[in-house]
Structure 1
């Protein structure tokens, strides 16, 4: 058990011990192996009456304090997803080179890397060697200055690049797909892109799969576009993404975080008032976040979806005490 989980288990044990020291009216905790049946509801997901289901009682205040949360089990969609990585790049056609029209010394430079500029804004002034008069160099598009080579007093050559301005309000996400995975990925499918720096996500759609191969990685490149109005997605940054290639509706599902293993069986914890019952379940298809439940619980059952390991530890502790 990881150290943070161990601390949470110890915290629950301390709170429960305090509750047990109070008068019975305060909601003391008890542990039972009972055969309280749970009638099979519509959809055929119930379990047989008379099955013994280990359970524990935890007062609502204790459950809230220790972070135990539930949500009703219900229908949903299981996604067939491919996890890939990629890079953010500027959109082609949204990067402009700012050059000198006539050679001559640079008299002023008015923008630095990182500055936001508008179309037509003066970036530098150059004295033309031909006319000996000054002329302005302006930004051809609105965007961010991404590079600058202009220095006051330096000689600007004819057509020499002085600045680069990029419109970064949208970025391409170039995702690298290897091997047979490329055969299953087609344009038009959903893509969830995640920034590696802070975990921020953006939902988009795969636009195209490029016909060639990336020579450096020998991968197929799939491309999507994300919005970047706040400028926090940065060109050149590595990202990871989930490409959804298929979706399968299911009658009943729960988050993977709801699952625990007890006595070799997969279980979820169903809340009935202040009692939490460990209910064995038969599982079906799953994705990275959730799993289909084919038997064991009914639609609408309140299933523990956070801190389920605390309940497993609490029931296991009581079971060990009985063995002695």
Structure 2
């Protein structure tokens, strides 16, 4: 590395320390360090002069300190598996048998209410007091199960008829996920296969397995319904909410896989990855094959064991671009 490059590195690291000391955004410091290195590469080239050579791959040299500070990470390319996945949508519903209807035993006016919609109650907890028209004495209506009050039909002063529903209480500690499968996809999906369910509200996911394929067809959508069960410890999975899910039907072995995030596109529209050798990062054109949501198979252009950038690859791409632009002047 030239004296000027060393100075740029020291400046970038000092800048990082200064940003942190001033209470600035810590994520900006690594970006500033990478930018300083890229500017140096554009104006002065790499120490070994590989970036911009027409007879070699596009490449750049990034000192380890700057790579670490910028969040650039690598991993060895190697064998893995590609999932055959189906993306579907579904609906959360309470588990059958875990919903209780709380009714009045005797007719009479409601004198007191002790719970409202959304309240968590325990089994045996009083929910209301009703004065019986038959005995003219008050009796207590209690929750038969522990759970959450979903509905309340009672109001103070109103007359509750015998057997009239007053509350609906549901145990929501676990929920059903009813997933809708369309067309020929239904023939590939069976009970016992893994599924990842994702909340649309915040993107949180949970892994489970399909419990069963329901024998009937959903009337409105004419879809096959596949049912799974999920835990709801945080209470944020809400009955009636729509979810999306990824069902893994099968997995196929592949000789070389890399994370999907490792792939970039060069100026010619080719799929490329960035391979690290020491502090040198070289652009490598690859031929992708099968892929799933997380990994992609590489059928040509990469050898097992080569160190591929799997985080902040766009920074390496930008650094190579600036280095090449500097050599063109």
Aligned equivalent of 2:78: 74
Q: 1:318 aligns with which of 297, 316, 323?
A: 323
Name 1:290's counterpart in structure 2.
Answer: 295
Q: TM-score, normalised by structure 1?
A: 0.84
**Pairing partner for 1:277 from 267, 275, 282:** 282
Is residue 9–residue 313 contact of structure 1 (8 Å, CA) maintained in 2? Answer: no
Distance 1:62 1:19 in 2: 13
Q: 1:323 to 1:132 in 2, by over 3 A?
A: same
What residue is the counterpart of 2:229 in the other structure?
225
Paired residue for 2:145?
A: 141
Gaps of 5+ in 2: 1-29
After TM superposition, list the pairs within 5 Å mapping 1:40-55 onto structure 2: 52-55=56-59
Aligned twin of 2:67: 63
> Aligned partners of 1:300 and 1:147: how far apart in 2?
59
Report what 2:185 is aligned to: 181
Are the counterparts in 2 of residues 81 and 246 from structure 1 also a CA contact under 8 Å? yes
Q: Please tell me whether residue 239 in structure 1 is matched to residue 243 in structure 2.
A: yes
Secondary structure of 1:53's aligned partner: coil
Return the alpha-carbon distance in structure 1 between the equivalents of residues 240 and 37 of structure 2: 49
Q: How does 1:152-231 map to 2 (within 5 A)?
A: 152-231=156-235
CA contact (8 A) 2:107 2:133 kept: yes
- Distance across 1 between alignment mates of 2:261 and 2:60: 19
Residues 115-144 of structure 1: CA distance to partner in whole angstroms, max 9, x if unpaired?
Answer: 111111111111111111111111111101
Corresponding residue number in structure 2 for 1:119? 123
CA distance in 1, matches of 2:213, 2:33: 51
Report the CA distance between 1:206 and its aligned residue. 0.7
| Residues 133-161 of structure 1: CA deviation (Å, up to 9, x unaligned) | 11111111110111111112111100000
Q: Which has the higher helix share?
A: 2
Shift of 1:222: 1.1
Which ranges in structure 1 are unaligned for 5 or more consecutive residues? 1-7, 36-50
- Structure 2 residue corresponding to 1:32, chosen from 51, 69, 77: 51
**Displacement of 1:112 after TM fit?**
1.1
How far apart are 1:32 and its partner, in Å? 3.1
In the alignment of these two chains, the number of paired residues is: 299
Root-mean-square deviation (CA, aligned residues, Å) is: 2.6
1:64-103 counterparts in 2 under 5 A? 64-103=68-107
Relative to structure 2, which stretch is displaced further, 297-306 or 130-139? 297-306
* 1:182 match: secondary structure: helix
2-side partners of 1:265 and 1:159: how far apart?
71
Q: Secondary structure at the match of 1:32?
A: coil
Mapped pair 1:17 → 2:36: no
Which deviates further from its counterpart, 175-184 or 297-306? 297-306
Alpha-carbon distance change, 299 to 269 in structure 1, aligned in 2, over 3 angstroms: same
Deviations 1:266-318 (A, max 9, x none): 22111112110112223322112211123333333221112223322332343
CA distance in 2, matches of 1:12, 1:116: 52
**1:230-251 deviation per Cα after TM superposition (whole angstroms, max 9, x unaligned):** 2111111111000001111222
Closer, same or farther in 2 for the Cα pair 1:215/1:240, shift >3 Å?
Answer: same
Contact kept, 8 Å, 2:39 with 2:322, in 1: the verdict is no
